[in-house]
Structure 1
Amino acid sequence: MKKGYKVTDVRREKKIGIAAESLQELIEKSCKKFGFNVSCAECRLYVAEDGTLVDDDEYLKTLPPQTLFILLQKSEKMVTDFDYYYNMIRSTKKDYIDTGRAAKEFLDTNLRDKFKLFQRYINAADNAKTLLSERSQDPDWFAGLEPSEKTKEQSMSKRIKERMRGYYYKTKTALQSSELYVHSKNGGSKKYIDQFLVDLRKLLEGSKYNEGYFNRKYEKEQRMCDETGLFECGGLWNNNRCVYENEHIINPYRSREERILFQTWNLDHRIELSRSIIPTILQALNNIYIGKLYCTDCRSNTNYGNIETERYYLQIFTRENLKLVHIVCHYKGKHDAASDLYTICQKCLVKNRTKFGPNIARPHGGRLISSYTRSSLSW
């Protein structure tokens, strides 16, 4: 099914609307409309807002209709919307730059006091609209959102699903740009990584991208907020609670302003995704590839085995390793917490398959065993 997108070029002088159902079709039509006298293979497509390269149909399908893309030829450099318009203003509007610097300084200093000020404005919002759900009941709340978003709960579920997709594609990009993947001999280790990503994606789809985390109508055990939509900060990654009690709270269901401010709240990985989880996944897959691994079930060394995908799924996508935090409590330095090598020997693999059946996503308490082993892939 075709979706409508907007595309511009590096000069951003015009935007064109294009309907396409694949990345190749979108690039081909864009090249033709812009009159690029080059091969489509020499062109690249980026999301204008944040500069993300769109390199496959799978990622394209996750983006909403009317997303704006930048089409670049081989020698052209990607510049995000923010940088483009900042540079344009900088060259002609010095007063705007001075204002922007003042705003940046405002946010860079005394964050605790600044957010107290924001909180006072938030608390003055109309509480009577908090429990309203439908777009027709509180149209101001939906300003700037897609027409397809009919309820606040649907919109908030969409927000968490976008974050989960972001974690998946961050993991995918890191694994597929690794030395293990790029320099795979005869495609052996490459197959392991690709299969791991397939299994990881199945788990994420099976959980519906944890859409209940931000949805106040889900069961208490699944959502991160109370029944009214109120979220509380979980505190620094290594603390059990937030030290700013009754200050770091927010209800994005109450007003449009609070919904927008909620975007500054982070889902913080206690065990960090880039610094620990992804490197450990690569090490685990490499151990399987070279036939030198440790079984976390029977605690024996073995030559043949598998990776326990669900363990890494829990660390990347679930509340087992994620906590929702206010921007002040989001510590960006290195966390003193590490992932582990989760691999399983062939004997325990067969035992678990006998116990659980075919390799599918298990309910809580069970475990997914990926559908590949060192002996089942050839290189």
Structure 2
Amino acid sequence: MKKGFKVTDVKREKKIGVAAENLNELIQKSCKKLGFNVGFAECKLFVAEDGTRVDDDDYLDTLPSQTLFILLKNKETMVTDFDYYYNVIRSSGKDYIETGVAAKEFLSTNIKEKFRVFQKYVAAANDARTMLSERSQDPGWFEGLDPSEKTKEQTMSKRVKERMKGYYYKTKTALQSSELYINSKRGRGKKLIDQFLDDLRKLLESNKYNETYFNRKAEKDARLCNENGLFQCGGLWNNNTCAYEGEHIINPYRSREERIIFQTWNLDHKIELSRSIIPKILEAIQWLYNENIKCISCDSNFKNGSIETDRYYLQIFTRYNLKLVHIVCHFKGKHSIQSDIYTMCKNCYGNTSIEYIK
């Protein structure tokens, strides 16, 4: 069944509506409507809100109608979220960021100074609306959001779920693009990978996509903010605290502008997903495929066994390995800590207990 979506280009100047049943149809129609003079195979589609690439129909099916996408040609790169969101804020006419002097100062500094200056203007926002929750109480906060989102807490929970789904589909795409998945004899490698992905998805669903992380009304141990919705940066991946004490804080429940800016904050994997976790998952599956398994529990070698999916779940989706950080504290270089190969023999599998980090 076709769903309606919104699509724009890298400049985000023209927004079109497209009804499509699958990813190829969506990209083809978008190319034509946006006037791209290239083949659809040369284009890539991204979720505008968080920059997640959409590269299969499964992920597309999880996204709601009217999701906004950005369609890029091969040689184009995404406009940085921060500069784009700043322009949105500047055009909103808010008193605390409406003067030309403020805009000039903001755009003339480096990114660290940009956020410092921005914090000064946000601090002047009206705190009186922060604790309002319903759409009917603070309609301006919900501007641009799906009409089905009735409370701020529902919206923030949805943002977490979208990020978690992005991590899952990034893992899925990488594993299903591997040589083991594509070229294994009699499809055994494909079956092992599909089984792992199914187990991982079931764990994620059973924990409701950790939707409480951004929900200020969740239990204290299940959220990353205080009861008012204030978030603090956790600092660089290898530090226990943020070096910008008192500066890297944000309350997306306070205003639409802060909600938009909060999208530039990252859930940073201390053990990196692409560089470490996914390669180790592939190695673990390769061990199963070769029937040469080393049990991490009893430290013995076996022909048959299983992957301890729980440990990879913890590393991909939970606070065991995720840290909420301001964009300035998001280090994109290689991290020194690594994942591992978590396989177990049949005797040990099921006899260990993994504590989930909510």
Query: TM-score, normalised to structure 1's length?
Result: 0.75
Q: Is the counterpart of residue 140 in structure 1 residue 143 in structure 2?
A: no
Deviation at 1:297, TM superposition (A): 1.8
Per the alignment, residue 355 of structure 2 pairs with 365
Aligned match of 1:298:
298
Q: Which residue of 2 aligns with 1:92?
A: none
Structure 1 position 52, deviation (Å): 3.2
In structure 1, the residue matched to 2:248 is 248
After superposition, give the CA deviation of every residue in 1:279-321 in whole Å (9 maximum; x if it has no partner): 1111111011101121112221111111011100000000000
SS in 2 for 1:211: helix
Unaligned regions of 5+ residues in structure 2, if any?
A: 34-39, 81-104
Between the aligned partners of 2:334 and 2:47, the Cα distance in structure 1 is 30
Residue 327 of structure 1, CA deviation? 1.4
Give the Cα separation in 2 of the matches to 1:144 and 1:218: 25
- In the TM superposition, residue 3 of structure 1 has moved relative to its aligned partner by 2.9
Closer, same or farther: CA 82–225 of 1 in aligned 2, 3 Å: closer
User: If the length of structure 2 is used for normalisation, what is the TM-score?
Assistant: 0.79
Alignment of 1:279-290 (within 5 A): 279-290=279-290
Aligned to 2:325: 325
Listed as ranges, the matches of 1:1-379 within 5 Å are 2-6=2-6, 17=17, 19=19, 30=29, 46-47=45-46, 49=48, 52-56=53-57, 58-67=58-67, 106-108=109-111, 111=112, 113-349=113-349, 352=350, 365=355
Q: Give the aligned residue type for 1:210.
A: N
Cα shift readout 1:36-55 (whole Å, capped 9, x = no counterpart): xxxxx989883484593443
2:91 paired residue number: none
Contact 1:9 1:71 in 2 (8 A): yes
Structure 1: tracts of 5 or more residues without a match:
35-40, 84-101, 357-361, 367-379
Confirm or deny: 8 A CA contact 1:51 1:80 kept in the other structure.
no
Residue 7 of structure 1, CA deviation: 6.4
**1:23 CA drift (Å):** 5.2
Identity percentage over the alignment? 65
Q: Is the 8 A contact 1:45 1:69 kept in 2?
A: no
Partner Cα separation in structure 1 for residue 115 and residue 230 of structure 2 = 17
1:16: Cα distance to partner? Answer: 6.6
Aligned residues: 327
Distance 1:312 1:134, change over 3 A: same
Code of the residue aligned with 1:343 in structure 2: it is: T
Shift of 1:116: 2.0
Distance 1:51 1:9 in 2: 15
Q: Answer with 1 or 2: which has the greater Rg.
A: 1
**Per-residue CA distance 1:110-144 (angstroms, 9 max, x = gap):** x1x33221111111111111100011111111112
**Structure 1 pair 303–105 and aligned structure 2 pair: CA distance change class (3 A):** farther
